[in-house]
Chain A
Amino acid sequence: MSQAIEHLSGEWTIHHAGELRAPLLDLVNAGCRVFDVSAINEIDSAGLQLLVSARNALMLQGHELALVEAPSCVQEVLACYGVDANLHPLAKEVRA
């Protein structure tokens, strides 16, 4: 896919969720589907929810969202919620 990869960075937490939404929406509306999240240094449920919400918006347009280069903090959250890099639920075994 010759899609441009957009970089997301910073703290994706409840404290910043309000300011993160608008720029993300712009990216989604511009047709971005692949996001490099390597520069995200903190993420919580609010951050994940934003990404899931972006995915839902893309899915309405018939596209998939993909996260690439997920750093450990993002991977941990994805694993906790049992979703894959497309933010689809994954009935994958989570072991504590």
Chain B
Amino acid sequence: MNPSDMSDEDILATAREGFLDEARDMLSQFEAALLTLDDNPDDNEALNCAFRAAHTIKGTAGLFGCDRVVAFTHNVETLLEELRSGAFAMSDEAMGLLLQGRDQIEALLGDVHASTGDPALAERSQELSQAILGLLGGAHASAAVTHPAATQAQADVGGERIWRVRASFGVDAMRNGLDPLSFVRYMASQGRLVQLQALLDGVPPLQDLDPEACHLGFEATYAADCSRSDIEAMFEFAVEDCTLDIEDLTPAPAVTPAGTQAAVASAVSAASAAEPPREVRAEQGALRPADQRSGQSDRRKGNSDRRQDETRFVRVQADKLDRLIDLVGELVIASSGALLVANREGSNAFTEAAQRIQSLVESTRDGALALRMAPIGETFARFHRVVRDVSKALGKQVDLQITGAETELDKSMVDVIADPLMHLVRNCLDHGLESPADRIAAGKPERGTLALHAYHEGGQIVIEVSDDGRGLNRELILRKARERGIVSPDQVLSEHELDQLICAPGFSTAEQVTDISGRGVGMDVVKRSIESLRGQMQLASEWGKGTTTQIRLPLTLAIIDGFLTSVGNVHYVLPMEIVSECIDVPSDCHSNPRSDVGYFNLRGEVLPYFDLARLHKVPTQATGRRSLVVVRDLQTAVGLVVDRLHGEHQTVIKPLSSLFSHLRAIAGSTILGSGDVALVVDVPALVSHAVEATRPDKRGHIQPPPANASDLPSTAVESAS
């Protein structure tokens, strides 16, 4: 806590990153509050929240000497203040400026590392500030930002002296009949209170409060024609119950050496940032100069309200977490190894101990993984703004519905999927949703709906972006796809497959397709980035009713519940969630001329099957009964033929080295308790591989299936599971 252990530079350097993080949090609160206000202009709570956020950004930015941020944010704050006081009514223009202001603050925050600001940014600050001030009318025009004019601040102060007076009262002050308020009132009668801030952080929560003890204090910037001793005299009769800290902020050369000069400089720059005439922000003066340690620690106390909140969170470096999770992974392997040994030794006591350890390790694993999870809501929330801005620009009316915001996924994923999601949302707004007139003509409600939905399913996170717009025009898609040679003229595609065509590379670039079909802007790019995360993307659309894009992502978390099987001497792990049942290899498979791939009948449903031995050309075990594992993925269920089933297995996925990156259908490897290596099957990739391999147009000798494989269905899955 004691800042004198570190130099100012150290403090600033370490704290600055925290400040930027916090400022970003504040900005998102700010934006959320503005968007609430946009829907409901009378929401005072939202207005207060926006104001507080802007104020906090300004305050902490001042603390870190980010003058450009302070100067600009001040103008935004002024606008909010006017709105709050009712002096100015919320309008579209004001809202637009506030939102642009938010973006500008963000841009300025991104630029704080640079010693001299980006001139383009400065210009934009200037423009926006003037727009804001112009909106508020000439009254505040003098507060325009740009360059601080030291002389102006001095001149405005006039012959008065400026003091920072900090009074904290003793516990017994109120019992002794002293009310801090009376001092405030007295000071106000003797001079000008430029600014007053209550010191409320000493007040304990109600359950711990002695209501007669005094925990209050205040810090004032006081302009008066008086000396230090005059101020001391005001507090004279409270001398026992009050700690007084008076500091001279008067920007005058008479007041001696270096430290004060710095105080002058900062007071001046603060004054220029704030409304120049009067408001001298004492806090800023307190931070910079090295000789004002006490002021600095005071500021820190002043922030403790917020810190109380923060103590509930601990910021941890991501790589520390990764190391922990790696270790936990090793622990899982080691403990299943121990259990294996225990079983082999046949010692009951040992087995029991090993089992106990394993269950603890599993809880540890769950806990460790949960540390890295973040709700997707933060990512979703930013789309409020996008939807608002884009729909306004396009003259469409769009409601954004968000469900499943609390669904958690790996923090690293949260960051990566933001861009593809943005693309999809924009697509919906640009092309999916119709204009109000078209919607009414189509007999739909005037306001379109864009829904973002997230949930967990089968060990994956599913994110859906859907709209109730015009849907995909499959005829046009097919025609274009044929023109472009993506689909051969005689190829028959299911509707589902047709919808996926707009994600085909080469489909997106053609402008006329975009215009006519209304879709396909860079969808291949989106699809690629989803696939690079080992996820899949699917579209479903109904003409005239809307389109849903579904993204499935693995939780990528290093550890899964797996189902261990083997073919020959190779172990394969299937994610437990997708295994729906295990049966003996049905007779259909034996009668098939090529026994490694084909179709079988599962209680009346025809499903493709695929011999895992075929995948890596592993010789199967000569003896023993083989089994068929039915796995399901999206619309498709597939049978996988394996030699042996080993049951459930805690699987720590180790990524494969880039040497193996070309391997299809393998998601990673894992080490078994016995020390053997097992391959983790990437089932969706395997399923599409299986479906492809069984496709009649590629393998003419296979009986064509009664229905298209990829449409096969959910009924089979339901009956199976």
Q: Which residues of A contact B215 (CB under 8 A)?
A: 49, 53
* Assembly CA distance A50 to B211 (angstroms): 7
CB within 8 Å for A96 and B211 given contacts A80-B184, A82-B197? no
CB pair B191 A96 closer than 8 Å: yes
* Assembly CA distance A25 to B302 (angstroms): 25
* Assembly CA distance A46 to B218 (angstroms): 14
Q: Interface readout for A26-67 with B: 1 if CB under 8 Å, 0 if not?
A: 001000000000000000111011101110110110101010
Shortest CB–CB separation between residue B515 and chain A, in angstroms? 46
Q: Which of A56, A77, A94 is most buried by chain B, counting CB atoms within 10 A of its CB?
A: A56
CB pair B209 A87 closer than 8 Å: no
CB within 8 Å for A50 and B206 given contacts A59-B305, A89-B197? yes
Q: Which residues of B contact A4 (CB under 8 A)?
A: none
CB pair A89 B200 closer than 8 Å: yes
CB pair A81 B205 closer than 8 Å: no
Q: Which residues of A contact B194 (CB under 8 A)?
A: 93-94
Interface size classification for chain B: 35 or more
CB within 8 Å for A54 and B206 given contacts A44-B181, A95-B192? yes
Q: Does B189 contact A (CB under 8 A)?
A: yes
* Assembly CA distance A53 to B193 (angstroms): 25
Q: Which residues of A contact B207 (CB under 8 A)?
A: 25, 57
CB pair A96 B55 closer than 8 Å: no
Q: Which residues of B contact A90 (CB under 8 A)?
A: 55, 197
Q: Does B188 contact A (CB under 8 A)?
A: yes
Q: Which residues of B contact A62 (CB under 8 A)?
A: 309
Residue of B nearest to A78 (CB): B198
CB within 8 Å for A20 and B196 given contacts A46-B174, A59-B305? no
CB pair A25 B206 closer than 8 Å: yes
CB within 8 Å for A60 and B188 given contacts A1-B45, A45-B180, A81-B196? no
Q: Does B528 contact A (CB under 8 A)?
A: no
The count of chain A contact residues (Cβ–Cβ below 8 Å) is 43
Q: Which residues of B contact A45 (CB under 8 A)?
A: 174, 179-181, 214, 216
CB within 8 Å for A21 and B200 given contacts A49-B214, A49-B215? no
CB pair B192 A53 closer than 8 Å: no
Q: Which residues of B contact A52 (CB under 8 A)?
A: 200, 203, 216
CB pair B309 A53 closer than 8 Å: no
CB pair A96 B189 closer than 8 Å: yes
Q: Which residues of A contact B423 (CB under 8 A)?
A: none
Q: Does B59 contact A (CB under 8 A)?
A: yes
Partner of B198, one of A17, A54, A89: A89
Shortest CB–CB separation between residue A41 and chain B, in angstroms? 16
Q: Which residues of A contact B45 (CB under 8 A)?
A: 1, 64, 66
CB within 8 Å for A91 and B305 given contacts A1-B45, A49-B216, A53-B203? no
Shortest CB–CB separation between residue A23 and chain B, in angstroms? 11
Q: Interface readout for B158-201 with A: 1 if CB under 8 Å, 0 if not?
A: 00000000000000001100011100110011011111111010
CB pair A94 B206 closer than 8 Å: no
CB pair A96 B193 closer than 8 Å: yes
Residue of B nearest to A84 (CB): B48
Q: Which residues of B contact A81 (CB under 8 A)?
A: 181, 184, 196, 198, 200, 216, 218
Q: Does B102 contact A (CB under 8 A)?
A: no
Residue of A nearest to B309 (CB): A59
Partner of B206, one of A1, A56, A86, A88: A56
* Assembly CA distance A76 to B647 (angstroms): 73
* Assembly CA distance A44 to B224 (angstroms): 25
CB pair A56 B203 closer than 8 Å: yes
Partner of A57, one of B181, B205, B305: B205
CB pair B59 A46 closer than 8 Å: no
CB pair B189 A94 closer than 8 Å: no
* Assembly CA distance A59 to B307 (angstroms): 11
CB pair B192 A96 closer than 8 Å: yes
CB within 8 Å for A88 and B52 given contacts A28-B206, A45-B180, A94-B196? yes
* Assembly CA distance A89 to B306 (angstroms): 12
Q: Which residues of A contact B55 (CB under 8 A)?
A: 90-91
Q: In chain A, residues 1-19, which have Cβ atoms closer than 8 Å to a Cβ of chain B?
A: 1, 14, 17-18
Q: Does B81 contact A (CB under 8 A)?
A: yes
Shortest CB–CB separation between residue B599 and chain A, in angstroms? 57
* Assembly CA distance A86 to B193 (angstroms): 22
Q: Does B524 contact A (CB under 8 A)?
A: no
CB pair B81 A53 closer than 8 Å: no
CB pair B308 A17 closer than 8 Å: no
Q: Which residues of A contact B216 (CB under 8 A)?
A: 45, 48-49, 52, 81
Q: Does A70 contact B (CB under 8 A)?
A: no
CB pair B195 A56 closer than 8 Å: no
Shortest CB–CB separation between residue A42 and chain B, in angstroms? 12
CB within 8 Å for A86 and B48 given contacts A21-B206, A44-B179? yes
CB within 8 Å for A96 and B188 given contacts A20-B211, A46-B211? yes
Q: Interface readout for B271-315 with A: 1 if CB under 8 Å, 0 if not?
A: 000010011010000000000000000000010010011000000
Q: Which residues of A contact B211 (CB under 8 A)?
A: 17-18, 20-21, 46, 49-50, 53
* Assembly CA distance A57 to B279 (angstroms): 32
Shortest CB–CB separation between residue B463 and chain A, in angstroms? 28
Residue of B nearest to A17 (CB): B211
Partner of A87, one of B188, B192, B200: B200
Residue of A nearest to B191 (CB): A96
Shortest CB–CB separation between residue A93 and chain B, in angstroms? 6
CB pair B206 A85 closer than 8 Å: no
CB pair B214 A93 closer than 8 Å: no
Shortest CB–CB separation between residue B413 and chain A, in angstroms? 27
Q: Which residues of A contact B206 (CB under 8 A)?
A: 21, 24-25, 28, 50, 53-54, 56-57
Partner of A14, one of B212, B278, B279: B212
* Assembly CA distance A81 to B59 (angstroms): 18
Shortest CB–CB separation between residue A44 and chain B, in angstroms? 5
Q: Which residues of A contact B675 (CB under 8 A)?
A: none
CB pair B195 A91 closer than 8 Å: yes
* Assembly CA distance A62 to B37 (angstroms): 22
Q: Which of A50, A57, A64, A77 is most buried by chain B, counting CB atoms within 10 A of its CB?
A: A57
CB pair A60 B179 closer than 8 Å: no
CB pair A53 B209 closer than 8 Å: yes
Residue of B nearest to A50 (CB): B211
CB pair A53 B308 closer than 8 Å: no
Q: Interface readout for B560-576 with A: 1 if CB under 8 Å, 0 if not?
A: 00000000000000000
Q: Which residues of A contact B257 (CB under 8 A)?
A: none
Q: Does B346 contact A (CB under 8 A)?
A: no
CB pair A80 B205 closer than 8 Å: no
Residue of A nearest to B306 (CB): A59
- 9 further A-B contacts with Cβ under 8 Å, apart from A49-B209, A53-B206, A92-B195, are A14-B175, A14-B179, A28-B206, A45-B181, A50-B211, A52-B203, A59-B205, A91-B195, A96-B193
A and B contact pairs by CB, cutoff 8 A, 7 listed:
A45-B179, A49-B203, A52-B203, A59-B308, A81-B198, A86-B52, A88-B305
Contacts from B to A (Cβ < 8 Å): 45, 48, 52, 55, 59, 81, 174-175, 179-181, 184-185, 188-189, 191-198, 200, 203-207, 209, 211-212, 214-216, 218, 275, 278-279, 281, 302, 305, 308-309
Top 10 nearest A-B pairs (CB, nearest first) are A57-B205, A17-B211, A96-B188, A81-B198, A57-B206, A53-B209, A82-B196, A21-B211, A56-B205, A53-B206
